[in-house]
């Protein structure tokens, strides 16, 4: 009974610490519904293989890859639905389409940094890539967004 309580406590801590970032990343990749489903699949995998996942140095990065592999299905609709005029006045109406036009990594990093406020180190941990790779994807993604939306940068 004590072993089960420790296992439950470990899993509860994993969900508390990892789930928000994992969900945000998978939603940025797959969209709201499919991203949430992929997150649930990844967490179910973590529970089923908890002894293995518990021993990992970066369970968030591993579970992100699990969610990615289990979340792959044929995409029928855009990830980001167009914004209805007047619904969200502080969002550029062309942003959903522009985000959908980025590479997956660029979109993911831009949404996590500017949409959710994650820092580069947190994203590097979730994606299990270097901070310099995060910087590259962020810079390229923002450049593409600015070009697509016709926004000029002022130095």
Q: Which region holds residue 83: left if phi is over 0, alpha if psi is between -120 and 50, else beta? A: beta
Q: What is the rounded CA–CA span in Å between residue 63 and residue 18?
A: 9
Confidence of residue 4 (pLDDT cuts 50, 70, 90): low
pLDDT digits (tens, 9 = 90+) for 65-92: 999 887 766 454 555 555 455 555 566 7
Confidence of residue 19 (pLDDT cuts 50, 70, 90): very high
């Amino acid at each position: 009974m004590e072993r089960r309580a420790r296992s439950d406590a470990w899993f509860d801590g994993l969900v508390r610490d990892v789930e928000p970032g994992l969900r945000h990343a998978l939603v940025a990749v797959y969209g709201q519904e499919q991203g949430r489903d992929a997150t649930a699949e990844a967490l179910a995998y973590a529970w089923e293989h908890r002894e293995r996942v518990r021993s990992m140095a970066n369970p968030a990065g591993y579970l992100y890859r699990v969610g990615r592999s289990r979340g792959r299905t044929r995409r029928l609709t855009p990830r980001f639905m167009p914004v209805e005029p007047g619904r969200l006045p502080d969002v550029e109406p062309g942003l959903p389409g522009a985000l959908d036009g980025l590479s997956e990594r660029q979109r993911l990093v831009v949404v996590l940094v500017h949409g959710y406020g994650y820092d580069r180190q947190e994203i590097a941990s979730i994606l299990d890539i270097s901070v310099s790779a995060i910087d590259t994807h962020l810079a390229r993604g923002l450049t593409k967004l600015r070009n697509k939306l016709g926004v000029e940068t002022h130095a």
